[in-house]
């Protein structure tokens, strides 16, 4: 028999469950049909009166109504007023972590996995903004930072969120807080010089009869079966250490291993440049150590002044907000405005737009504003879909809607770059992870509707206070 004194706690539990249900996504179906008055597959291809079929998290068919067979047993989402668009791709972000920077200058052995907070409100906002793929990298205040991770903005654990672990390494060519440009450049160069000296020492130690087993013992818990069997030569590196192929990979210090992966062409470097001067340092370090073709420059707006050098190098860039660089003519005092994406587009540099530090924090806003400032629509859409997907090595998976690709799909109320359009639903790998009609926080902000169970939770630091 239920005691009366238990009723308040049971009601509280029920309210919490209702709130959790409101924030969570509906159960995913193995099949899903999306119907739309307009499907924007990519920046160059559109379908009117279209239909998109999803099975097991991937798009299996897309076309006009009547030309694609609709499975009878699949739920249907959308309608004639809906515009379908691929999920936005964020090429570089330092949000969603407990803190973006570390105290250590050189820390490639760290992993942002240990800093990502799955319940950070940033990921909830990403769903609301239609950002379905995010590359999380350490902040800019470093010399060589942690290993990054590509995630999707849903999941109770980092593992559930992960799209690609251990992706990318953050470098900074701009002075860390308290350092000069000269000491920053020196520290960056010396990190790779130190790697070379370290590798030469362990090769010489092995030739002198050193005990590599002692080195392997430093990395207890690692799977060394394949690493003990054989080493690997430095194929593709700009510099080589003779005899490194004799060294089991498990014998290499894990503090150095991420740098070796980068030098050998198995990693991507995201290099922060806070000014045009630092671009030269970044390109020199990447070229000298053999990873220029795996380098991506993350640029402050003032770096447009180095656009010719960047174009010559062939590297892709991520343009952080704002998109208009302002400065005063030192002689006349006149304020000069430079539209940064326009400069890079003219020079033929591949670029992705970043929402970081934007007033709206959304890629939609960045792309729409770029068009408003003079960038052509195709280039703007590519800069928030196709190009960032290619930068992340996911160009055949996300950034466009086509059979075989991951079903990361946005259902919008209008044109993707219109200022009165909002995200109605987000489908992520075939699962509906956002429904605006069930967005309790949005209802509270726009309509003043107090979500059930949130009364008082803001004062207690509960879910509604995030």
Spell out the domains of the chain, with CATH numbers in brackets.
Answer: 27-86+419-465 (2.30.40.10)
What is the rounded CA–CA span in Å between residue 47 and residue 37? 8
More confident residue, 221 or 313: 313
Sign of the alpha-carbon dihedral angle for 159, 164, 166, 170? negative
Residue 79 reports pLDDT greater than 70: yes
Lowest mean pLDDT segment, chosen from 46-50, 130-134, 264-268, 459-463: 459-463
Distance CA 110, CA 148 (A): 9
Per-residue pLDDT of 234-282, as tens digits, reads 766 788 888 888 787 778 888 899 999 999 888 999 999 999 999 999 9
Separation in Å, CA 351 to CA 266, 324, 368: 22, 15, 16
pLDDT at 146: 95
pTM of the predicted structure, to 2 decimals = 0.86
Q: CA–CA separation, 268 vs 457, rounded Å?
A: 43
Secondary structure of residue 41 in the 3-state scheme: coil
């Amino acid at each position: 028999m239920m005691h009366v004194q238990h009723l308040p706690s049971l009601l509280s539990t029920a309210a919490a469950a209702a709130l959790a249900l409101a924030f969570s996504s509906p159960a995913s179906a193995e099949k899903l049909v999306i119907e739309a008055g307009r499907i924007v597959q990519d920046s160059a291809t559109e379908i009117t009166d279209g239909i998109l079929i999803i099975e097991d998290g991937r798009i299996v068919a897309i076309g006009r109504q009547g030309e694609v067979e609709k499975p009878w047993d699949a739920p249907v989402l959308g309608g004639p007023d809906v515009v379908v668009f691929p999920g936005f791709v964020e090429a570089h972000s330092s949000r969603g972590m407990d803190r973006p920077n570390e105290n250590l200058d050189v820390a490639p052995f760290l992993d942002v996995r240990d800093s990502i907070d799955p319940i950070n409100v940033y990921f909830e906002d990403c769903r609301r903004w239609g950002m379905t793929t995010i590359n999380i990298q350490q902040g800019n205040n470093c010399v060589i930072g942690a290993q990054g991770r590509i995630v999707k903005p849903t999941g109770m654990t980092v593992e559930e969120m992960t799209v690609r672990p251990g992706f990318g390494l953050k470098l900074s060519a701009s002075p860390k807080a308290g350092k000069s440009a000269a000491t920053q450049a020196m520290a960056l160069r010396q990190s790779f010089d130190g790697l070379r000296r370290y590798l030469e020492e362990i090769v010489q130690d092995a030739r002198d009869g050193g005990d590599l087993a002692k080195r392997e013992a430093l990395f207890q818990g690692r799977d060394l079966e394949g690493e003990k069997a054989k080493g690997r030569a430095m194929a593709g590196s700009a510099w080589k250490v003779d005899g490194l192929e004799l060294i089991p990979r498990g014998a290499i210090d894990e503090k150095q291993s991420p740098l070796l992966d980068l030098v050998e062409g198995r990693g991507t470097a995201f290099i922060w440049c806070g000014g045009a001067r630092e671009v030269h340092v970044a390109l020199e370090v990447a070229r000298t150590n053999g990873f220029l073709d795996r380098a991506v420059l993350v640029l402050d707006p003032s770096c447009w002044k180095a656009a010719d050098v960047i174009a010559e190098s062939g590297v892709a860039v991520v343009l952080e907000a704002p998109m208009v660089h302002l400065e005063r003519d030192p002689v006349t005092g006149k304020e000069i405005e430079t539209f940064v994406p326009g400069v890079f587009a003219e020079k033929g540099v591949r670029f992705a737009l970043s929402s970081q530090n934007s007033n709206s924090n959304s890629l939609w806003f960045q792309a729409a504003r770029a068009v408003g400032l003079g960038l052509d629509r195709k280039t703007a859409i590519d800069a928030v879909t196709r190009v960032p997907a290619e930068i992340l090595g996911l160009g055949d998976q996300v950034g466009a809607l086509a059979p075989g690709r991951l079903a990361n799909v946005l259902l919008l109320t209008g044109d993707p770059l219109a200022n009165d359009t909002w995200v109605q639903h987000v489908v992520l790998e075939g699962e509906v992870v956002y429904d605006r009609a069930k967005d309790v926080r949005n209802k509270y902000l726009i309509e003043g509707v107090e979500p059930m169970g949130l009364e008082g939770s803001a004062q207690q630091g509960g879910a509604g206070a995030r």
